[in-house]
Structure 1
Amino acid sequence: MNQIIETILNHRSIRKFEDKPLSEEQIEKIIACAQSASTASYIQAYTIIGVTDKGKKEKLAELAGNQAYVAENSIFLVFCGDLHRLELAGKMEELDVTASLESTEKFMVALIDAALAAQNAAIAAESMGLGLCYIGGIRNNLSEVQKLLKTPERVIPLFGVAIGYPAKMTDKKPRLPMSNIYHENEYKQNEEQFVAELTEYNDVISSYYESRTKGKRKDRWTEQMANMLQQKSRMYMKEYVQANKFDLK
C-alpha cells in the first residue's frame, strides 16, 4: 500500500487543534492541490476563502451552531460555489450567459467542482500531518455568513473545513459495508440484502459508540439517520439559492 492510499484510509474528523498557525507555504500547497482537482469543462466554478481572523472565525463558530473548533484551528477554509467569475467572463466577451448561469446544471457543476477541490485540499493537508473537520453548519444562516465574508451574488458558501495540528486524535468511524456502496454494472435492488447488511452495520456502530463513550451512547446508524431526517433542517435553502441568482431552471 502506498502513502497516498494510507493517508486517505486513515482519515478521521479532528475537532481539537493545537494553537499553532500554518506557514504560507503550507497554505499555498493546500490551495494548489485544491486547484489541481478535476473541474467540469475547465469552468473552475468555486472560490476558497481562507479565514484566519480570530473575530471572523468566532462569528462563524457561532453561526455554525457554537462549534468551538470552527474558531480554534490554524485556518478555516470556506468553499463556495462561484458563478460570479463566469458572469464577468461573459461581460468581458460581451455575451449574454445568464440563462446558462441560472440553470440547474451549472448549479450542480459549482457544487461538484467545490467538493472535488475540497477533497484534494483535505488529502493534501492530511499528508502534511494536519487534521481537519468538514463543517456544514455554516449553512445554518447563510445570509449572515455571506455578509461576514462579503460574497457577491452568484457565490454561495457551501461548507467549511477546519484545518490544524491535531491536539487529540479521534477514533476512525467504521464506514458502511462496501457492498452497500459499490454496485457493479447496475444498482442492485435487493432490499432484503440491504436490510441484512445495515443490521450488521448497526451492531458495529452501536459497539463503536458504546466503547467510545464508555456505555453512555450506543445508538444504531439507521436510528441516528432516521431521527436526524425526521427533523426539518435549513428549509430556507431553495429561496436563498434562488435569491443569489442560482435559479435552478
Structure 2
Amino acid sequence: MNQIIEALLDHRSIRKFKDKKLTEEQIHTIVKAAQQASTSSNVMAYTIIGVKDEHLKEELYNVSGHQHVKDNAHMFIFCGDLHRINHLDNPEHNQHIQENLESTEQLIVATVDAALAAQNASIAAESMGLGICYIGSLRNDINRVNELLELPEYVIPLFGLVVGYPDHMPDIKPRLPLETIYHEDKYKPFAKQQKFIEAYDNEMSNYYKTRSSNTKADTWSDQMVRKFSNPTRMDVTPFIKSKNLNKR
C-alpha cells in the first residue's frame, strides 16, 4: 500500500482546529490542486470563495450552527457556477445557450465539477498535515448564504470546506461494507445487500458506544430512517430554480 492510499484510508473529519491561519501559499496550493481535478468538457463549472472575514464567518455560523464554521484556519465555499458561460454567448445562439444552462444536465455537471475539485482540495490539505471538514449545513438557509456571498444568477452555494491544523484526532468512522457499495455488471437487489447492512449496523453500534468522545446508542439504519423521515431544506429546490438552474 502506498502513501497516497494510506492517506485516503486515514481520512477523518476534523472539527476542532488550532488558532493558526493558513498562509497565502498554502491557500493557493490547495486551490491549484482543486483546479487540477477532472472536469466535464473542461467547463470548470465551479467557483471557490475563500472566507477570511470574521464577521462573515459569524454570519455563516449563524446559518450552519457549527462552531468550526467560524473557528478554523481557512474556509472555502464551493459554488456551482455557470455564470461565466452565460457571459460568453453569441446573441445569435443565446436561446440555445440559455436552454442548456437551465437544464438538469448542466446542474449535475456543475455539482460534480465542484465536488471533484473539493475532494482534490481536501486531499491536498491533508497531505500538508492539515485537517478538513465539509459543511453541508450552509444549505440550512441557502438564500441567506446566497445573499451574504452576493452570488449572481447561475451560481449556487453547494457546500463549505473548513481547513486547519487539527486540535483533536477523532476515531475513523466505519463505512458501509464494500459489498453494498460496489456492484458488478448490474445493480444488486436490496435483499442481497441486507445482511451486510445488518453487520454494518452492529459495527456502527459498537463504534458509537466505544469511540473516544460523544458516545451514544445508535445504528446507521436508525439514523437514516430518522433523517429521511424529516423533510429538510425544502427551500433548496425553489432557490435553485430562482437562479435559473434545473428549470428544464
Q: Which residue of 2 aligns with 1:127?
A: 127
| Partner deviation per Cα, 1:65-116 (whole Å, 9 max, x = no partner) | x21000000111000000101101115x763111110111111100000000
Matched letter for residue 185 of structure 1: D
Q: Given that residues 77 and 160 in structure 2 are in contact (C-alpha distance below 8 angstroms), is that contact kept between their aligned partners in structure 1?
A: yes
User: Is residue 83 of structure 1 aligned with residue 78 of structure 2?
Assistant: no
Matched letter for residue 28 of structure 2: E
Query: Deviation at 1:128?
Result: 0.3
TM-score, L = length of structure 1: 0.95
Query: Deviation at 1:248?
Result: 3.0
Q: Which residue of 1 aligns with 2:239?
A: 240
Q: Which residue of 1 aligns with 2:7?
A: 7
User: Is there any run of 5+ residues in structure 2 with no aligned partner, and where?
Assistant: none
Matched letter for residue 243 of structure 2: N
Deviation beyond 3 Å, 4+ runs, structure 1 = 213-216
User: Is residue 218 of structure 1 aligned with residue 217 of structure 2?
Assistant: yes
Q: Given that residues 45 and 83 in structure 1 are in contact (C-alpha distance below 8 angstroms), is that contact kept between their aligned partners in structure 2?
A: yes
Q: Given that residues 107 and 248 in structure 1 are in contact (C-alpha distance below 8 angstroms), is that contact kept between their aligned partners in structure 2?
A: no
| Partner deviation per Cα, 1:92-151 (whole Å, 9 max, x = no partner) | x76311111011111110000000000000000000000010010000111111111111
Seen in structure 2, the aligned counterparts of structure 1 residues 171 and 216 have a Cα distance that, compared at 3 Å, is: closer
Q: CA RMSD in A?
A: 1.4
Matched letter for residue 206 of structure 1: S
Seen in structure 2, the aligned counterparts of structure 1 residues 247 and 203 have a Cα distance that, compared at 3 Å, is: closer
Matched letter for residue 27 of structure 2: I
| Distance in structure 1 (CA, Å) of the matches to 2:214 and 2:134 | 27
| Distance in structure 1 (CA, Å) of the matches to 2:128 and 2:88 | 36
TM-score, L = length of structure 2: 0.96
Q: How does 1:12-91 map to 2 (within 5 A)?
A: 12-64=12-64, 66-90=65-89
SS in structure 1 of the partner of residue 162 of structure 2: strand
Q: Given that residues 171 and 212 in structure 2 are in contact (C-alpha distance below 8 angstroms), is that contact kept between their aligned partners in structure 1?
A: no
Q: Given that residues 100 and 106 in structure 1 are in contact (C-alpha distance below 8 angstroms), is that contact kept between their aligned partners in structure 2?
A: yes
Aligned length: 246
Identity %: 48
